[in-house]
A = this chain, B = another copy of it.
Amino acid sequence: MQPTKRLGRFTVELASPPSIIGFASVVGKKEGEGPLKNSFDRINNDTTFGEKTWEKSESRMQAETLSAALNKTSLAPGSLDYVFAGDLLNQCIGSSFAVRDMALPFYGLYGACSTMAEGLGLASMLIDGGFANHTTAITSSHFASAERQYRMPLEYGGQRTPTAQWTATAAGCCILSSEGNGPYITHVCTGQIIDLGVKDSNHMGAAMAPAAYETLSALFKETGLAPTDFDLILTGDLASFGAQILRDMFQLDGIDLGPNYHDCGVLLYDAKKQDVHAGGSGCGCSASVLCGHILNGMKDGTWNKVLFAGTGALMSPLSVQQGETIPCICHAVVISNTKKEGA
């Protein structure tokens, strides 16, 4: 017996697609100087967010993002039935410290930069499954806390390679509801771990692109939808090299992702002027691009059907030191202004 909502190995179609009733993004100074600066709810030029450590700054940013998203709804914080949150910090302290005072049912996630898509998928399924009326997916990353943990303290002034990505100081939050006027999450495609042997943690786009290819291929196959059925296909965060690799992989299948394909890591910064090398990364990169530029654009009709595919590299500094390759994953959701196909 195949569950009725299941279209295939990786994709489910939601019977009662939840509506995104509130969303918000909060970013740092550099992100606020980029091409999407007008799409964020708040740009904080003080990237300490008034805190004494970068980790606490990230938690503060994530908490402010949740508050900003809630403020766009009529909901009291206590109305949230489930919070799905995660970040890049060891033991995910960016998230657990952000919401520890809110007394909300909490599920901690770890999906690296795919966490926003992972959270949206689970938050949507718990509403569609009749377990909740209101859920939220939230995630964050902070350049300084990430550099310290993954690479080296900022004070060291480490060199970066051309393929390296810039961890965004950013957070994004979506509030989902069983009722609302959209945009709606209509499909959830859960990723599998893909590891094709890339070892260079300064070339994560190359490591993650095959995971994005597998997830998008599965979604196209299982839904019967083609790239041309979407106004926008958005990966996060393959950046410039990874996005081209993804296009090339689909070209080998005779599929052109076309002009509607973009990547959050490419969109967030002006690569020429902002010295981010390949582009942005970090849980907050795709989250802040989605919860600003993209959802604003869906609200004003710029896009009506978006395929949002969060990509994550699941290595750790220690696994890299131990000579391991980089396992990656990509989770995708279909976001549409139409609740049901043909409706």
Partner of A89, one of B1, B78, B316: B316
Q: Does A132 contact B (CB under 8 A)?
A: yes
Q: B-facing mask of A90-134, CB < 8 A → 1, else 0?
A: 111100110111111111111110000010001001101111110
In the complex the two chains form, is A111's CB within 8 Å of B108's CB?
A: yes
Contacts of A55 on B, CB cut-off 8 Å? 318-319, 322
Given the known interface contacts A91-B314, A92-B314, A93-B318, the answer about A3 and B110 at a Cβ–Cβ threshold of 8 Å is: no
Q: Which one, A20-28, A31-39, A189-197, A271-279, is touching chain B?
A: A189-197
Shortest A315–chain B CB gap in Å is 7
Interface residue count for A (Cβ, 8 Å)? 68
In the complex the two chains form, is A107's CB within 8 Å of B122's CB?
A: yes
**Residue in chain B with minimal CB distance to A329:** B106
Shortest A235–chain B CB gap in Å is 18
Roughly how many angstroms separate A4 CA and B133 CA in the complex, as a whole number? 10
**Residue in chain B with minimal CB distance to A214:** B103
Roughly how many angstroms separate A52 CA and B2 CA in the complex, as a whole number? 42
Q: Does A299 contact B (CB under 8 A)?
A: no
Q: Does A178 contact B (CB under 8 A)?
A: yes
Q: Does A12 contact B (CB under 8 A)?
A: yes
Contacts of A105 on B, CB cut-off 8 Å? 9-10, 190-192
In the complex the two chains form, is A322's CB within 8 Å of B106's CB?
A: no
Roughly how many angstroms separate A185 CA and B12 CA in the complex, as a whole number? 23
Roughly how many angstroms separate A39 CA and B89 CA in the complex, as a whole number? 36
13 examples of A-B residue contacts, CB within 8 angstroms: A3-B178, A4-B130, A10-B105, A55-B322, A90-B317, A90-B318, A91-B112, A99-B193, A103-B193, A109-B109, A125-B131, A126-B129, A129-B129
